[in-house]
Amino acid sequence: MHKFIVKGPCKIKGEISISGSKNAALPILASTILFEKEVTIKNLPRVKDIDTMLNLLKSLGSVIKFSKNKKIVKITKKTKQNYFASYSLVRTMRAGILVLGALVAKHQKSVTSLPGGCLIGARPVNYHLNALKKLGMKYEIKKGYIHANTKGKLKGTKIRFSKISVGATENTIIAACLANGITILRNCAIEPEIIDLINFLKLGGARIKFIGKRTLKIEGVKSLESVSYSVMPDRIETGTFCVAACLTGGKLKIKNFDPRLIKTELSLLKKVGAKIITSKKQILISGPKKIKNITNLVTKEYPSFPTDLQAQFMVLLCKANGKSLITESIFENRFMHVAELRRLGADITIKKNKAFISGNTDFQAAELMSSDLRASVALVLAAIVAKGSSTINRIYHLDRGYENIENKLQKVGVNIKRTH
Q: What are phi and psi of 168, to 5 degrees?
A: -65, -35
Which 3 state secondary structure label does DSSP give 339? helix
Q: What angle do CA 307, 305, 259 make, to 5 degrees?
A: 115
Distance of CA 403 to the CA centre of its chain: 13
Distance of CA 347 to the CA centre of its chain: 28
Q: What are phi and psi of 303, to 5 degrees?
A: -90, 20
Q: What angle do CA 260, 316, 409 make, to 5 degrees?
A: 75
Distance separating alpha carbons of residues 342 and 361, to the nearest angstrom: 10
Distance separating alpha carbons of residues 407 and 178, to the nearest angstrom: 42
Residue in 118, 177, 188, 246 annotated catalytic: 118
Distance separating alpha carbons of residues 182 and 13, to the nearest angstrom: 52
Q: Within 10 A of 99 (CB to CB), how many other CB atoms are there?
A: 28
23: exposed, middle or buried (Cβ count in 10 Å: 0-12, 13-18, 19+): buried
Distances (CA, A) of 55 to 20, 65, 81, 165, 327: 19, 12, 14, 25, 37
Distance separating alpha carbons of residues 371 and 393, to the nearest angstrom: 9
Could you give the maximum distance between any two Cα atoms of the chain, in Å?
Answer: 64
Query: To which H or E segment does residue 58 belong?
Result: helix 48-59
E-assigned strands of 197-352?
207-212, 215-219, 227-230, 251-255, 275-279, 282-286, 297-299, 324-328, 348-351
The answer to whether 418 and 10 are in contact (CB under 8 A) is no
Active site residue 318: no
Q: Which residues are catalytic?
A: 118
